[in-house]
Amino acid sequence: MPFNTSDDQDRPRSKTQRKREMQARQELGEKIMALPGSQRDRLPLSDDMRQALEEAERIRSHEARRRHMQYVGKLMRHEDVDAIQTTFDLFEQDKRQRDQRLHHLERWRDRLIDEGDSAVEAFISEFPSVDRQALRQLIRNAQRERDRQKPPTSARKLFKLLRDTAGL
């Protein structure tokens, strides 16, 4: 982020630099607003900032919202931007890890449908708590759907079973 560092404190900032910093703070405020409440609660925000974010959710007028976001940007001057950015980075890291696990399960689903029983044993060894009977039935149904070029209803159910088994 283009915020001032301690090395930059010695030099006077240009008006353009100050505008960029304000714009960056305002954008960070908008990113905070876009977060679900559970994640927003985990951010190190002041009470004034939390109140301003709650108020922004109620504003529907475009112009009023734009002005309020400028106010949020102003409040961001007093927030610990580095701590907020660190928490954002953790959110992104969690999301990437979850996406990787889901992609891993998608590959398992495709492999189970393509290879059948030979892949089932490998899956069971990795996830021994899976409902074997439901797994085999969904695989057979998904293979039939694929062969008949039907919508992948059973493949979706199979993925849900895999996701539930993996605890995602």
User: Which residue has 């393509």 as its token pair?
Assistant: 114
pTM for this prediction: 0.64
Q: Which residues of the chain have pLDDT under 70?
A: 1-10
pLDDT in tens, 121-164: 888 888 888 888 999 999 999 999 999 999 989 999 999 999 99
Domains defined for the chain, CATH in brackets: 6-79 (1.10.60.30), 95-166 (1.10.60.30)
CA-CA distance, 26 to 132, in Å (whole number)? 52
CA-CA distance, 113 to 140, in Å (whole number)? 8
What H or E segment, with its residue span, contains residue 28? helix 15-34
